[in-house]
Every structure is written in structure tokens, then in C-alpha cells.
Amino acid sequence: GAGAASAHTLARHRDILQEFSQEFRRVRSAVAAASEHARLLAGAHKRNDSFGAAGGGSGLSQSQIHQQLLRERSGLQSATNAADEVIGQAQSQAQALAQQRALLIDIDSKVGTVGGKMPVLGSIMQSIRRKKSRDQLILSAVVAVCILFTLIYMWSK
């Protein structure tokens, strides 16, 4: 009686401690991220304020700073153009795959029509479907057994 109740209370307090610990870690990382963000912004403001004073003490003239910014902008534009090109290629590939899918669906329906008109072909196609489904079942069983053995191995460690 009393031992079970205290064990239950202890377990509940452990759960509460774990929840509070997780919440603490989450809040601590959020505070650290906000602090880092504020520190970076403060550093950016200091650099911007110092640009007005003869190159900001960095030894660079306004012209040099301007040239660096233009080079950076050019690099960013190049990266954006490359990303746009990759996206365009992906979209064209998606369209090509959609066309292939439509073609294969059309071929499948035509083969099904021919199979219905010629009973010999229909029976051959039916036996192919049965063999395919049997092969899929065997493959599924092998994968399931491999996963089961992997899980048993992981649990035994």
C-alpha cells in the first residue's frame, strides 16, 4: 500500500523533473539564440556607425568598401541565377516524368484491352500478375524479417 503509493509519487516527480528539465533546456537555447542575435545586431550597428568616419578604422576607403559590397552583390546574384537554373531543370524533369507516366498508363490500358480480346494473352498476363504479387509478398516478408532481426539486435544491446 504505502510503498506502492510512494513509488508512484516518486515516478510522477521524476516525470515532472524531466519535463521541467526539457523546458529549461529549450528556454535556455532560445535565450542564447536571442542573445547571439542581439550581439550580432549590435556589432552590425557599430560597423555601420563607423563607416562614416574615414573607412571605419578598418583601413578601407569608402570606394574600397563600395567595391567589396558590389562584388558581394554580384556573387549573390550569381548564386541566385544558378539556383533559378536548377529549379528550372527540376521543373522540366517533373514535366518529362509526368508525360512518361501518362504514356505508361496509356500503354497499360491498351495492353489490358488486347488481353481482354485474346484469352490466351489474358491468361498469360494474369499469371504474370500473380507471379508479381507473389514476388512482392516474398520481398515484403524478407524485409520484415530483416527489420525484426535488426530491432532484436538493437534491443539486446
| pLDDT tens digits along 87-138 | 999 999 999 999 999 999 998 888 878 777 787 877 888 888 899 999 999 9
Q: What is the pLDDT of residue 54?
A: 45
Chain centre to alpha carbon of residue 115: 43
Q: How do residues 80-99 score in pLDDT, each as one tens digit?
A: 999 889 999 999 999 999 99
- Which three cell numbers, joined as nine digits, stand for 68? 567589396
Q: What is residue 61's three-state secondary structure?
A: coil
Q: Percent of the chain scored above 90 by pLDDT?
A: 39
Q: Which CA distances in Å does 24 have to 10, 27, 38, 91, 100?
A: 21, 5, 21, 44, 53
> Model-level pTM greater than 0.75?
no
- The average pLDDT across 61-90 equals 86
Domain spans, the chain: 1-59, 62-117, 118-157
Q: What is the pLDDT of residue 76?
A: 86
**Pairwise CA distance, residues 4 & 141, whole Å:** 44
Q: What is the pLDDT of residue 52?
A: 52
Which residues does 123 contact at the CB level (< 8 Å), separation at least 6? none
Q: What is the pLDDT of residue 47?
A: 59
- Which three cell numbers, joined as nine digits, stand for 5? 503509493
